[in-house]
Structure 1
Amino acid sequence: MKTTISEVNKYLGQEVTIGAWLANKRSSGKIAFLQLRDGTGFIQGVVVKSEVEEAIFKQAKSLTQETSLYVKGVVQEDSRSPFGYELQVTGIEVIHEAIDYPITPKEHGTEFLMDHRHLWLRSRRQHAVMKIRNEIIRATYEFFNKEGFVKVDPPILTGSSPEGTTELFHTKYFDEDAFLSQSGQLYMEAAAMALGKVFSFGPTFRAEKSKTRRHLIEFWMIEPEMAFYQFEDNLKVQEEYVSYIVQSVLENCQLELERLGRDTSKLEKIKAPFPRISYDDAIKFLHEKGFDDITWGDDFGAPHETAIAENYDMPVFITHYPTSLKPFYMQPDPDREEVVLCADLIAPEGYGEIIGGSERVHDVNLIKERVKEHGLETDAYKWYLELREYGSVPHSGFGLGLERTVAWLSGVEHVRETIPFPRLLNRIYP
C-alpha cells in the first residue's frame, strides 16, 4: 500500500510504501535509524540487520543525506516520537542518490542558509514554519467565508498609490507610468460598494530600504473591506479574525509548534476582545517608561511598540493616531479632527504591528480635500472619488501582514523565515 507519512496512522501493523528523502541517519552496528521526510511530515525508519537481507542493511548504512527513495516497511506505534509512529523497514529502492548535500547537520551562517533557501526549506524547522503559514491561510479563507465575505483580487499593477509614491516600485506600462501595488485597499473599497463585505489575499511590494527583522520587500496581505461598517464594527472583526487564526494554529499545528519550541501557553490566552490604548495615552505611557524623545505627532518605532505591547499579554489596539501621520483616506474623529478613526494592532512578545485599519472617509467633499492636501493627482484618483459620488456609505477595512503574523505565532525571530523565498533589501536570489 502506497501512502504518505501523515497518513501512516491509518495503516498500523500493515506494510506500506512511502516515497521520501533521507533527512539524516545514524547507526549502531546492528541497527540503522533513517530520518525520513516526504513533505507531509517526518518519520523514523528502523532497519534491523537481523530482520532484513544483508544487502538492504548495507544499503541503508550507505545512504547519503537527501537521497530520494521508496521505503517499504511496517507501521508501528512509537511513544518516544512526537509523531507517535515509526517504520520497521523491510525494503529500500533508491530513486536518486544525492552527493555532497550542502546543508549538513552542523551549524551554518544565516547568509549561507539564505543562499541555499531552495534547500533550507527542507529542514524540520522551515517545514514547521511553512505548515503554520499554510494553516493561517486556510483558517483565513474559512473565517471570511463563514462570515459572508466575498474574495476579490485587486490588481498588482496600479497607476497610483494609496499611501504616496515614496515606497513604490516604478515600472513602465507600455507608454504610461505604473507601480507595483503596496496595498489593494482602494480597489477593495470599490469591491465593497458592489459586494458588501469583501477580502483580498495577495502579494504587496514596498520599496522601503529597511533591514529590520520585521520588514520584507515583497510580502502578503489579507485586506478585508466592509460597507456600512464603522470604526467599532471594524475592530470587532479584527479581534475575532485574529482569535480565530490563533486557535486554528493551536488546534491543527501542535506538532509544528512543539518542533519550534513555541510556548503555546502565551497563544492560548489570545481570545477576543483585545485591550485598547489611545495614541494620547500611549504617548503618556512611553514618557513614563523613559522615552522622553517622543512627542505628540511622532510615529511609533519598533522600540515604542514593543514597550507598549509588553504591558499586555494579548494583542493591543493603539487607536486614534494624529491625522498628519496617516494616509489621506482615513476618517477624522467627528469629535476631534486632529485624530483619525484608525487602529494598529500590536502583537505581544515584541512582534510589532500585524494589522493597520481604519474607517474610511465617505464624504465626497472631504475626500477631495484630502487628496489635494496630500498633493495627489486628481486625475489618477478620479475613479476612487467617484465611489463617494454615487451612493457613498460609511465603510471600514484593515490589512493583516501575513509574514509578521506567521513570525509571531511560530515564535521565529525574523520574517525572512516566514515566506518561502524572501525578498530583502540586498537579496533577490534564489
Structure 2
Amino acid sequence: MSRPLGSKNKPKLPKNTGGLEVIKFEKQVEGSAISRDSKQGYIKWGVKNDYPQLLLNLYNQSPTHHAAINFGVQSIIQNGLDYNAMQLDGTQTYPNAYYSWDTLIRYIALDYLIYGSYAIQIIKNKDNKTFSFYHIPMEKVRCSPYDEDGQITSYWISSDWSQVSMYPPLQIEAIDMRDENVIDRGKPYIYVLKTYDPTVTYYQSPLYSAGIKAIQSECEYVNYDLKHIINGFSTAGILTLPDVETDEQKRAIINNIQQMFQGSDNTNQIAITFRTNIEDKPVEWTPFADGKNGADKYDSANNRTISRILSAHQIPSPMLIGQPDMSNAGFSSDADKIEMAYQLYQKLTGNYHREQVIKSLNDMFKLNGIDVEIVQKPLHFNDFDESDNNNSSSETVARDVEQDVDADNIEEKVDGNNNNNKQ
C-alpha cells in the first residue's frame, strides 16, 4: 500500500555520489588551544575541552614524537638524584608515602614535555610542619578565570572531563609554593607551572607546537602503512557496472563486492562506478599499474616529516632517539657523535627544560625544611656501563630508605573523583 501524498515517513536514501566513497579527514590539532569560559567556573582547554587528550593521542600515535618526548624526559631526570651528594636522610628522600623524588621528577617531566606545563598537589601533613607533594596528571586539570587582580586563584580536577556528570570537577585552591604561611593542615592545594607564552591566555602551548602538523602527518603515514597490509597500498582498480535504478540497489551491490574482495586475506581495494550508457559493455574491470612511485613518495615524505619533528623538539641528531644517522661528520665513533649531539641539545633546550622542573623540586625541598639544592647524576652517551650503574645506585638508595617514611603522618592526595587516592 502506497503512502499518502505528502507523508513525512519517507525512507532516507543515501545521497547519490555516483558510487564513489567520500573520505572524511579528522580535523587538525591546532598548535595552541582556544580557551573558552565554560560558565561553570572553569576555563575550557580547547573548544571542546579536549585539547590535552588530543596532545596525548599524538604522543601515543607518532613513533618519532613519542621517542623525542621520552628522550627529553630522560634528559631532564639524568641518571637520577644523587642522594649521597645531597646527604638526605630517609624521611627526606620521598615527597609522599608512595614514591620517590626520582619518580615525581619523571611524572612532571613527562607532563611538561607533552603539555608545556605540569601540576603538583600540596598538602600539609599531620605534624603541621612538613608537606606531601603529589603529581596530578595535567590532562585532568582546568583553571578558573583570572580574578580582578589578574591571578588564577583555583584549579579544577576531574578524572574524565568528557564525562563530568560521572566525574564532577573538584575545585582546589591555587598556591605559590614560596608562600607556606597560607597553607592549612590537611587541605589540598595545587601548583601549576606557568611560563611566558605570548600565544595563549590560560593554558601553555606545547613546546613542540611548531611541529604539530608534522606529527599529525606521521600519524597518517603510520595509518597509511597499515592500510598497505590490510587493504593494499593503493586502489587496485576500477570495476564498472551497468547502472541501476536506485541508490539502495547500488549500495547493496557495493556491499556485496566489498565483502568479496576486501580484508587482509584479499589485500586490495577496488573502486566501483556505474555506467549510464547501456550500449557499452555490461561489466568492465580496469586494473591500476602497481608501480613503485607511490612508495617512493611515501618514503620521501615520511623522511621530511621525521626531520621536522626532530627540529620542533630541537633534537640535533636522530641517533639521540634511536634512529640511524648515516652522516660521518668527522667523528671517530658513533658514541662520540651521540655525545656531541647530546651536549648540543643541552645547550639548545635541554638545560632550560631541566631548570623548569628542578626549580619546583628545590621549592618543595625548602617547604619541607631541606636546606640543600637538587643534585643529579649526569647523563652521558659515551659510557653506557657507567650510566647503567648510576641508575641502579639511585634506585637502590630510594628502596633502602622506604622503611623510614612515617606513613601515619602523611596526608593523602585528593583526586578527580573527590576521593582520597594512593598513587
TM-score with structure 1 setting the length: 0.22
Query: Rg larger in 1 or in 2?
Result: 2
Structure having the larger proportion of residues in helix:
2
Structure having the larger proportion of residues in strand:
1
